[in-house]
Amino acid sequence: MWRLLTILLFVAVAVPAHAQTSDSDEARQLANEGADLYEAGKYAQALKKLRAAEARMLVPTIVLFTSRTLDKLDRLKEAEASYARAAALTIDPALPPEFQRVQHAAQQTAREEREALLRVIPKLELRVQGDTPDRIVVDGAELTTALPASITVNPGRHVVEASSGDRLWSLEVTVARGEKRALRIQLPPPSTTPRAHDPPPRSPSPLPPPVEPRDEPTDLSPFGWVGVGVGGALIVVSLTTFGVASSKKSDLDGICPDMVCRESQVGRGVEEQINSYDAFRTTSLVTGIAGGVVAAAGIGLLLWPTDAGDTQMTLGPGGMYIRGRF
């Protein structure tokens, strides 16, 4: 309760009425909230409020409560530095005497509590047995103090590591308030495994004879199916035009038997029928021959063995050609 009364007294007389500012008002509000949280045991939340109050008004009473809060959080090394800061702050002699008395009292309390805290901060006594390590790391931070050394740490778990070349040593230790732990750092002995002599140079192995590239067999089945399809389509066209030509011939036989027309029978309509008949007959003949040739070539490609050598099919204006090694 005395701690709360101290902060409340500071709030009451901290700044003369004519000197009040928005920062001082916020500082008093934050300090009161931090004190309430401290008394409720909510130390992490209290620390945030008190740090914010310090940023607006740096006076011993607020810093004193910050130091106590850090102590409760087991952050003893920070608490010790905060107590020292509170004791070293300069108090403006122009401020009211009541304010100065409260702040001087807070500084004296900070000195006393700091002395008590120094007696309970844990220590690690580091000693070396054997070779001195090139590097020592405590909780991830490299140690710059020469060994043997006594270092202060917060209560809790700590990791000490040492190394020299490829020789490594590490130890995990947990310490409590007021505990002093002696640690003996001993690097493992150097490796005694003899280094193997380099083997004599080996003569280069003879290169294997070059392997002649081997042609992969050509699969002609796609060309064969194309030929069968195209040839079949041409044959269908040939049969269709043949049927049309036969129908037209039947009509002409009724007019001109044996395709012999008398002069009196020849007219424009008959001449057009004869020309149409000739066109369909020629188309049927040409497509039939072409369809047969292309279809036969396609069937031949389908039946051709895939390992018959390097073959190549070429389509030209005069027909389809297959060439290669057989």
Residue 67 belongs to some domain of the structure: yes
Check whether residue 6 and residue 111 sit in a common domain.
Answer: yes
* Residue 295 resides in a domain: yes
Same-domain check for residues 56 and 159? no
Q: Which of 92, 118, 144 is the last residue of a domain?
A: 118
Query: Which band of pLDDT confidence, cut at 50, 70 and 90, is reported for residue 2?
Result: very low
**Res. 34: pLDDT tops 90:** yes
The pLDDT tens digits of the residues spanning 262-294 come to: 555 555 566 777 777 778 778 877 887 886 777
How long, in residues, is the chain? 326
For 279, the domain range is 221-324
Decide which of 314 and 96 is more confident.
96
Supply the pLDDT for residue 154: 96
Whole-number pLDDT of residue 160: 93
Same domain, 258 and 307: yes
**How many structural domains does the chain have?**
3
User: What pLDDT was estimated at residue 254?
Assistant: 67
Identify whether 231 is part of a domain. Answer: yes
Q: What is the pLDDT of residue 12?
A: 39
- What φ, ψ does residue 210 adopt, rounded to 5°? -65, 140
Same domain, 155 and 228: no
Is 157 within 8 Å of 179 (Cβ atoms)?
Answer: no
Out of 118, 144, 169, a domain closes at 118
Q: Which of 71, 86, 118 is the last residue of a domain?
A: 118
Interacting residues of 301 by C-beta distance below 8 A, sequence separation 6+ = 220, 221, 223, 224, 227, 313, 322
Task: Kindly tell me if the per-residue pLDDT of 48 is higher than 60.
Answer: yes
Is residue 293 located within the same domain as residue 225?
Answer: yes
Domain shared by 306 and 262, yes or no: yes
